[in-house]
Chain A
Amino acid sequence: MANNKVKELLERQYVILDGGFGTELQKRGMKPGETSEIMNFVRPDDVEAIHRSYIEAGANVINANTFGANRLKLAKTQYSTADVVKQALNIARRAAEGTDALVALDVGPTGQLLEPAGILSFEEAYDIFREIIEAGKDLADLIMIETMTDLYEIRAALLAAKENCDLPVFTFMSFEKNGRTFTGTLPSAAALTLTGLGSDAIGVNCSLAPDELYDIVGELLHYTDLPVMVKANAGLPDPATGAYSVSAEKYVADCVKYTEMGVKLYGGCCGTTPEYISGLRKMLKVHAPSQREKRADLSSVCSSSRTVDITCPKIIGERINPTGKKLFKEALRNNDINYILNQALEQVSAGADILDVNVGLPEIDEKEMMVRVVKALQGITDLPLQIDSTKPDVIEAALRVYCGKAIVNSINGEEAVMERILPIVKKYGASVVGLTLDENGIPPTAEQRVAIAERITAKAESYGISRSNVFIDCLTLTVSTEQKAVPETLKAVRIVKEKLGLHTVLGVSNISFGLPTRELVNSTFLSMAMECGLDLPIINPNIASMAGAVFAYRVLAGHDANATEFIGRYGQSSNDSAKPVASKTEITLAYAIEKGLDKDAEALTKQKLDAGTDSMEIINNELIPALDRAGDAFGKNKIFLPQLIMSANAAQACFGAIKAAMSGEKRISKGKIVLATVKGDIHDIGKNIVKTLLENYGYTVIDLGKDVPEQKVVDAAIEHDVKLVGLSALMTTTLGAMEKTIRLLRESGHDCKVVVGGAVLTKEYADAIGADRYAKDAKDTVDFAKEILG
């Protein structure tokens, strides 16, 4: 029923929302420092009067006074989320009684930053929002999620709303003058992501005045078909008087332009009053919003801070994939996320536009690993991701935590596969790769593959997925075994692109399997395919000729206007040559490590290995003594922290060369150590320095990260049977968590030593909380590790 009322509302030419609430409450006597939501209990009549004043001013929808009603913000009050939500909605209901006005459950940010910038997990945020939705769903006509600055957080709120009630959901984000939110979210990314996830209307609220939001709103309109909403601020408050700078008259006049742009819903945020709302009503009677033109069908994917429009060939980097890669497999088995992140960063600098993510390995939990990797990747790169798995549960888990609009790789023409995966693609608003094969295998002719492409597209459309979100892979076969298949693939690409009007994707590297100089074959095939209409080549961008073929194609096909991008990338290359590696005769490996020359260290290690030197001999006779000398110099203030770490980095390069040369089964480790920054603490740079050093002394570090629950440390210590645990804390407020961790470790009966470090610690305190050793710096920790583990 509520659904119908909102549907009718959205069929009108325009809709009026309400205005500022906090300022109205202050006018009625709320004091600074008081919590708005508490006013539902101490000033219910004032709250109701404000609602009524907005209805009288013309608002079709009023927001209940629930903006900050979440368990985090209410923690220090005597009220629960449910208390506040129900009380506020009942007041709003009373105010709306006898009128047509609808009542919205107003949902604001949690007030905590989400991972990766903060520590609140996506799942925890979801649960906080779920609690609000559950409390309010029977009393509200719709849900308004407002003032969000983090796309991840608004996704959590929107998902919680969609999964726990049937009410329509309107979503708003707040943008700054630089065209982004505080956390960097772009309007295009907000529009793509929220539209895909099933929001019923999207908009901007708060932070800026109406005349500062035209470009941002224009971008929303460009990227969505949904009704668009504007609830601006009345300018800025004066720091001394609190008065807002934009008058009702100006506010309303500046909103006229939005009617021409096709904005449908109008209201106000901070500093606006019923006067502004009644002004909007009068204006809208005269300036009814224009009908929006039908948008061109866009194919775009995004992270929160980068949108990739597929308007010319874009590179999908293929390197995050264990297939045929020994070190990658080992990294997956060891939970070495940093290895994977490095693979990502390398491709980013090589010019990838999108990263394919495949972490499937039979012996690991693919779903858990996928979630970890997706979360970690979005902390370090803004490239959109392509989730590469055939397992529906892995795909769903990845899309759920992915902050943006992803691509799913892949489905094919098999009915059962499509029926399993397409509903997930639809739910999370992703794009999807369709392989032109089915239960009968890969058809030999182009026409047959095109027929499968048509079937896949029709099926996707039946689930509500638009054609613009289906990317067809016509499949690359190996030229050395099926030479005749090459023209068929290219022909299929051309037909799919030109006749079906769909975007195309191809894994390129397969083409050259079994041939010499594969690069040459790959890049030539890539150029041919792009000329036939390939939009999304899946390649290794680290190979200069592959990424280069795409960059050059963009120039030649007129996409890279004035070759700006191309010149930016290659114009300086002659000056940009890497520093020459010092002559091999000049320096020793030990010297390279001591001085932090990582390239030299790597090259010299390779030389030694090639000459038949045993790897343990290199480690014990060269690497470790060199690190020791650097450590001594550090202790005597002859060198400083950056130099010590540069030494460690050089040692790492040396280790890398040794590992690469060794067969998978043989491992070098001087013992395992668990490291963690304790619960509540998120300053982990110190812990990471210690980790770098320990690893380069040959220890295996099980890094549990930051904000680590006490029990998790105990569990890890037991699971990996470690003899040494290192704990770090940098805040006086988190020392308690350190003490508790040590206590639980002792109570568990697991026999291990505990070394503690961090800014606020002292030897005395370390003794008092039962640690075995206080380490004043990273070097000190290494010394202790040597005592314990040898």
Chain B
Amino acid sequence: MTKIPDDLKTGAYAKALRYLGYRGSEPDEATAELIETGFRDLAEVIDAAAVNSVADKADVSYLLIGSDVNRHLEGCTRVMITAATLGAGADRLIHIAEIRNMAYAVVLDALASALIEEYADDLCEKQIKRLSADGTMTSTTWRFSPGYGDYPIELQPVLLKHLNAEKQIGLTATKDYILLPRKSITGVIGLSTNKLPNGIRGCAACNMRETCQYRKDGITCGE
């Protein structure tokens, strides 16, 4: 079992609260208790896994469809393709909670979404540090995933196949391009030997962008 490192908990906590709609306010006692239990129960079932590959941008052009991803990767010669998952255990735990206690299910769902984000970010950072160490690159973009902008969601299975993700980490996509296990992330990251401008991550890079109440209310969580 690969656990999520403990030091990611703080970041995940803050993210999860945002996903639950808390706009800077602290949760009430009952919810705080659910969150604590949720972290504990999730830790028991999460078996996180990730797979990456680094390639010359030109060699993987078939994975880079649409103007947005290509704009995102401008100035990069190499790219890292990445996929990460919390595994099927998290889905099952949430499913069981939906039967026993819906409030807990909602909390678990938010926590798991936050954890996969933090986990994928952390892994990418580590990979990138490794790559910077040998001087092959000095700057990177943030992770860009199918479904952002005009980067087609239909590419989800293509990325998975490129990474052999089904065999490597048990990650699949349905015929409607939904990743399964659910708490999973795929994406591409640009690598460059030149300094890249610091792009603003914004909503496009957020895993919750589609379910975010802030966005529906016309604001962002950063406001």
Which of A116, A182, A341, A733 interacts with B170 by CB under 8 Å? A182
A338 within 8 A of B: yes
Which of B103, B175, B213 interacts with A642 by CB under 8 Å? B103
Q: How far is the CA of A109 from the CA of B166 in the complex (A)?
A: 10
Contact between B105 and A341 (Cβ–Cβ < 8 Å)? no
Given A118-B180, A646-B30, A776-B216, A72-B54 contact (CB < 8 Å): no
Contact between B106 and A685 (Cβ–Cβ < 8 Å)? yes
Contact between B178 and A683 (Cβ–Cβ < 8 Å)? yes
Instruction: Enumerate chain A interface residues (CB-CB to B < 8 A).
Output: 32-33, 72, 75, 109, 111-113, 116-119, 147, 149, 174, 178, 181-184, 206-207, 239-240, 270, 338, 341-342, 345, 379-380, 596, 637, 639-643, 645-646, 648-649, 680-683, 685-686, 688-689, 692, 730-734, 759-760, 762, 776-777
Q: Other than the known A111-B166, A117-B180, A379-B92, what 18 A-B pairs have Cβ atoms closer than 8 Å?
A: A33-B62, A109-B166, A118-B174, A206-B167, A239-B53, A270-B167, A341-B99, A342-B100, A641-B20, A643-B28, A645-B102, A645-B106, A681-B178, A683-B182, A733-B153, A733-B177, A759-B210, A777-B213
Tell me which residues across on chain A come within 8 A of B14, comparing CB atoms: none
Contact between A33 and B158 (Cβ–Cβ < 8 Å)? yes
Contact between B102 and A32 (Cβ–Cβ < 8 Å)? no
Tell me which residues across on chain A come within 8 A of B89, comparing CB atoms: 184
Can you spell out 16 A-B residue pairs with CB atoms less than 8 angstroms apart?
A: A32-B59, A112-B174, A117-B180, A183-B88, A239-B53, A239-B54, A342-B99, A380-B92, A640-B21, A646-B30, A648-B103, A682-B174, A730-B210, A731-B177, A732-B210, A759-B212
Given A596-B30, A640-B22, A642-B34, A33-B162 contact (CB < 8 Å): yes
0/1 interface trace, chain B 67-79, chain A, CB 8 Å (1 if under): 0000000000000
Chain A, Cβ-Cβ closest to B45: A184
Contact between B178 and A731 (Cβ–Cβ < 8 Å)? yes
Contact between B88 and A117 (Cβ–Cβ < 8 Å)? yes
0/1 interface trace, chain B 151-162, chain A, CB 8 Å (1 if under): 001000010011
Given A649-B102, A692-B102, A116-B95 contact (CB < 8 Å): yes
Chain A, Cβ-Cβ closest to B172: A113
Tell me which residues across on chain B come within 8 A of A341, comparing CB atoms: 99
Contact between A734 and B102 (Cβ–Cβ < 8 Å)? no
Q: How far is the CA of A759 from the CA of B27 in the complex (A)?
A: 23
Chain B, Cβ-Cβ closest to A22: B164
B220 within 8 A of A: no
Q: How far is the CA of A646 from the CA of B103 in the complex (A)?
A: 6
Chain B, Cβ-Cβ closest to A181: B170
The minimal Cβ–Cβ distance linking B47 to chain A, given in whole angstroms, is 7
Main DSSP-derived SS at the B contact region: helix
What 3 A-B pairs come out closest when comparing CB atoms? A182-B170, A680-B176, A645-B103
Q: How far is the CA of A735 from the CA of B54 in the complex (A)?
A: 35
Chain B, Cβ-Cβ closest to A379: B95
Contact between A760 and B210 (Cβ–Cβ < 8 Å)? yes
Q: Interface size of B by Cβ–Cβ distance < 8 Å? A: 59
Contact between B21 and A380 (Cβ–Cβ < 8 Å)? no
Q: How far is the CA of A688 from the CA of B108 in the complex (A)?
A: 14
Tell me which residues across on chain B come within 8 A of A112, comparing CB atoms: 172, 174-175, 180
Contact between A643 and B31 (Cβ–Cβ < 8 Å)? yes
B96 within 8 A of A: yes
Instruction: Enumerate chain B interface residues (CB-CB to A < 8 A).
Output: 1, 20-23, 27-28, 30-31, 34, 47, 52-54, 59-60, 62, 87-89, 91-92, 94-96, 98-107, 109, 147, 153, 158, 161-162, 166-167, 169-170, 172, 174-178, 180-182, 210-213, 216
Tell me which residues across on chain A come within 8 A of B162, comparing CB atoms: 32-33
Q: How far is the CA of A680 from the CA of B62 in the complex (A)?
A: 26
Contact between A182 and B169 (Cβ–Cβ < 8 Å)? yes
Tell me which residues across on chain B come within 8 A of A759, comparing CB atoms: 210-212
Tell me which residues across on chain B come within 8 A of A207, comparing CB atoms: 167
Q: How far is the CA of A431 from the CA of B100 in the complex (A)?
A: 31
Q: How far is the CA of A732 from the CA of B154 in the complex (A)?
A: 12
Tell me which residues across on chain B come within 8 A of A147, comparing CB atoms: 167
Contact between A642 and B176 (Cβ–Cβ < 8 Å)? no
Tell me which residues across on chain B come within 8 A of A639, comparing CB atoms: 28
Chain B, Cβ-Cβ closest to A693: B102
Which of B31, B54, B177 interacts with A640 by CB under 8 Å? B31
Tell me which residues across on chain A come within 8 A of B107, comparing CB atoms: 642
Contact between A642 and B20 (Cβ–Cβ < 8 Å)? yes
Chain A, Cβ-Cβ closest to B98: A688
Q: How far is the CA of A33 from the CA of B100 in the complex (A)?
A: 44
The minimal Cβ–Cβ distance linking B98 to chain A, given in whole angstroms, is 5
Tell me which residues across on chain B come within 8 A of A692, comparing CB atoms: 102
Q: How far is the CA of A379 from the CA of B93 in the complex (A)?
A: 10
Contact between B100 and A345 (Cβ–Cβ < 8 Å)? yes
Most buried by B among A118, A270, A380, A685: A685
Tell me which residues across on chain B come within 8 A of A116, comparing CB atoms: 92, 95
Given A648-B102, A692-B102, A119-B47 contact (CB < 8 Å): no
Tell me which residues across on chain B come within 8 A of A117, comparing CB atoms: 88, 91-92, 180-181
Contact between B47 and A178 (Cβ–Cβ < 8 Å)? yes
Most buried by B among A183, A270, A686, A777: A183
Q: How far is the CA of A663 from the CA of B109 in the complex (A)?
A: 38
Contact between A685 and B88 (Cβ–Cβ < 8 Å)? no
Tell me which residues across on chain A come within 8 A of B96, comparing CB atoms: 345, 380
Q: How far is the CA of A649 from the CA of B212 in the complex (A)?
A: 24
Q: How far is the CA of A627 from the CA of B9 in the complex (A)?
A: 33
Contact between A685 and B176 (Cβ–Cβ < 8 Å)? no
Contact between A338 and B167 (Cβ–Cβ < 8 Å)? no
Which of B23, B27, B60, B176 interacts with A637 by CB under 8 Å? B23
Chain B, Cβ-Cβ closest to A149: B170
Tell me which residues across on chain A come within 8 A of B181, comparing CB atoms: 113, 117
Most buried by B among A182, A184, A688, A732: A182
Q: How far is the CA of A178 from the CA of B47 in the complex (A)?
A: 9
The minimal Cβ–Cβ distance linking A411 to chain B, given in whole angstroms, is 33
Q: How far is the CA of A720 from the CA of B175 in the complex (A)?
A: 31
Which of B88, B172, B211 interacts with A111 by CB under 8 Å? B172
